[in-house]
């Protein structure tokens, strides 16, 4: 039996090459005794926390790497042959956490080596092993019976990594720790932290809870970074990223918008329909918006009455992949009939906009369909230009930024109401949350573009909707 004695302030810790270190005190006590640093109150709680799923949303410079390295090494020393995987957006960053663990083993006088297969790995004499990997799902699938998975900078990793790594914990009943500062309002880390479930122990660690960060420094950072970025970096706030089309607060506000003062005018209601025609891997999507008006107070000067708009989502639907184009007119007629029946006895005017670039046959089918003979139909080509253009065959060319700007403006002005019971609300909300303005979509965006088409023609025909309020 191989046996070492290691000097570590303030006492001694013994290592048995077959059985590992043991018995060791609690991780927070061991950190002070063996590694020479005194954890602050929050670090003590996290180091000694016994939970299978731990999420730590933290400020910059709070010491999350120190916490994770200490806790992981404590487990590896007390549980021989443990396998601990570290994931990060890039392998180099994952190697930084591994490097901290290696520093600790050197402080303890423990000889370590790589596993012979991974350059970013560390094997202890008791058989416990650390492997640091980038967040590429394919790199993760060959591991099994994992003791602990650490996802560092979890807000920045590919969401697909979570699907790839969680099955590794099935047999071992292992633990998963996700650690990060916030980054935007989408992604698995955001959902774990903001939609807590009993499965996860979620902790928030803003800079104000760290005794090593002074109030004077934070005041300087707030002035230097600006309010939004400061809140993200130091207050654990999930702020909409620059590429995020709409922040979640705007979308949530649309489900319970402020009431419109005035008398409703149902006879003035109009329907605007957007259709995004899918290709082989995309769904065709249909969105129906209703423009409603409310009559406000009388103007004592001209005796006229102010009109206040409200745009309601009536229907959102993604058609199954492979749906036949020739079924589209009949499906539209069914949807519009239901919307009109709910609005009886009035029959609103219907404007239909369809993005069907390269779909000349479908456009002719739509134009010839008697099912839509009372609908104002506009075929659309989405362009990269700067302004609207009239194209051949009565197509309208609409720049992509202009299309999306009108939709966003309607949300920003609290003009849109998304009823929770509207058909397709859940799918539409999901797409809005994940839609990116740079075009790099992690999810389908068909419903977003269908709604943007409807909104563009709504504003085009009723420009007063987006006029500034006096």
| pTM summary value | 0.59
Residues 427-432: what's their mean pLDDT?
91
Q: Among residues 12, 54, 37, 178, which one has the least CA distance to residue 104?
A: 37
Q: Does domain 250-466 have CATH number 3.40.50.2300?
A: no
How far is residue 140's CA from residue 156's CA, in Å, rounded to a whole number? Answer: 17
Say yes or no to pLDDT of 306 above 70. Answer: yes
Q: CATH 3.30.420.240 in the chain: give the residue spans.
A: 250-466
The residue assigned the tokens 């184009």 is 325
Q: Are 185 and 240 in contact (CB under 8 A)?
A: yes
Summarised one tens digit per residue, pLDDT across range 347-390 is 999 999 998 766 667 888 888 887 787 889 999 988 877 778 88
Q: Which pLDDT score is estimated for 20? A: 46
Say if residues 56 and 177 touch (Cβ distance below 8 Å): yes
Using a pLDDT cut of 90, give the percent of the chain over it.
34
Q: Which of 235-239, 418-422, 428-432, 465-469 has the lowest mean pLDDT?
A: 465-469
SS3 label, residue 162: helix
**74-123 pLDDT tens trace:** 999 999 999 999 988 765 666 788 889 999 999 898 888 888 888 889 99
Q: What is the pLDDT of residues 175-201, one digit of tens each?
A: 999 999 887 777 788 889 988 789 999
Q: What is the pLDDT of residue 313?
A: 97
Residues near 287 by Cβ (< 8 Å), separated by ≥ 6? 273, 274, 313, 315, 316, 317, 424, 428, 447, 450, 451, 453, 454
**Three-state secondary structure along 263-283?**
EECHHHCEEEEEEECCCCCCC
CB under 8 Å to 114, separation ≥6 — which residues?
A: 121, 122, 123
Residue 407: pLDDT over 50: yes
Model confidence band, residue 335 (pLDDT cutoffs 50, 70, 90)? very high
Query: Quick one: pLDDT at residue 136?
Result: 65
The CATH 3.40.50.300 domain(s) of the chain lie at 3-234
Domain made up of 3-234: CATH architecture: 3-Layer(aba) Sandwich (3.40)
Query: Mean of the per-residue pLDDT values for the chain?
Result: 83
With a cut of 70, say whether residue 331 has pLDDT above it: yes
Beta bridge partner(s), residue 36: none
Phi, psi of 186 (to 5 degrees): -130, 170
Residue 368, burial from CB neighbour count under 10 angstroms (0-12, 13-18, 19+): exposed
């Amino acid at each position: 039996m191989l046996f070492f004695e290691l000097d570590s302030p303030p006492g001694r810790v013994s290592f048995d090459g077959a059985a590992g270190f043991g018995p060791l005190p609690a991780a927070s006590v061991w950190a002070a005794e063996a590694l020479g640093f005194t954890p602050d109150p929050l670090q003590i709680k996290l180091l000694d926390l016994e939970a299978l799923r731990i999420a730590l949303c933290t400020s910059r410079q709070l010491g999350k790497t120190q916490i994770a390295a200490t806790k992981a090494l404590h487990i590896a020393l007390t549980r021989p042959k443990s396998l601990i995987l570290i994931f990060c957006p890039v392998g180099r960053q994952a190697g930084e956490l591994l490097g901290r663990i290696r520093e600790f083993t050197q402080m303890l006088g423990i000889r370590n080596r790589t596993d012979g297969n991974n350059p970013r790995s560390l094997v202890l004499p008791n058989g416990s092993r650390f492997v640091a990997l980038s967040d590429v799902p394919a790199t993760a699938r060959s591991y099994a019976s994992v003791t602990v998975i650490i996802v560092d900078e979890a807000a920045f990793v590919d969401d697909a990594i979570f699907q790839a790594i969680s099955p590794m914990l099935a047999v071992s009943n292992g633990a998963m720790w996700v650690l990060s500062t916030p980054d935007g309002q989408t992604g698995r880390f955001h959902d774990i932290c903001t939609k807590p479930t009993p499965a996860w122990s979620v902790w928030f660690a803003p800079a104000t809870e760290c005794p090593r960060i002074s109030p004077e420094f934070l005041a300087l950072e707030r002035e230097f970074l600006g309010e939004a970025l400061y809140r993200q970096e130091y207050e654990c706030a999930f702020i909409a990223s620059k590429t995020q089309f709409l922040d979640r607060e705007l979308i949530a506000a649309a489900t319970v918008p402020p009431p419109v003062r005035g008398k409703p005018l149902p006879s003035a209601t109009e329907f605007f329909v957007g259709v995004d025609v899918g290709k082989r891997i995309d769904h065709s999507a249909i969105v129906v918006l209703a423009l409603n008006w409310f009559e406000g107070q009388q103007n004592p000067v001209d005796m006229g009455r102010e009109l206040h708009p409200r745009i309601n989502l009536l229907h959102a639907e993604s058609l199954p992949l492979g749906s036949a184009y020739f079924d589209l007119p009949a499906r539209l007629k069914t949807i519009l009939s239901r919307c009109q029946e709910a609005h009886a006895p009035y029959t609103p005017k219907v404007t239909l906009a369809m993005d069907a670039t390269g779909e000349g046959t479908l456009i002719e089918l739509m134009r010839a369909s008697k099912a839509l003979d009372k609908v104002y139909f506009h075929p659309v080509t989405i362009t990269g230009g700067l302004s609207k253009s009239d194209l051949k065959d009565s197509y309208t060319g609409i720049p992509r930024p202009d299309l999306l700007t009108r939709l966003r403006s309607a949300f920003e002005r609290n003009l849109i109401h998304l009823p929770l019971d509207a058909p397709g609300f859940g799918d539409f909300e999901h797409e809005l949350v994940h839609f990116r303005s740079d075009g790099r979509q992690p999810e389908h965006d068909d419903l977003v573009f269908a709604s943007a088409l409807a909104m563009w023609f709504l504003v085009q025909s009723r420009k007063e909707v987006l006029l500034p309020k006096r």
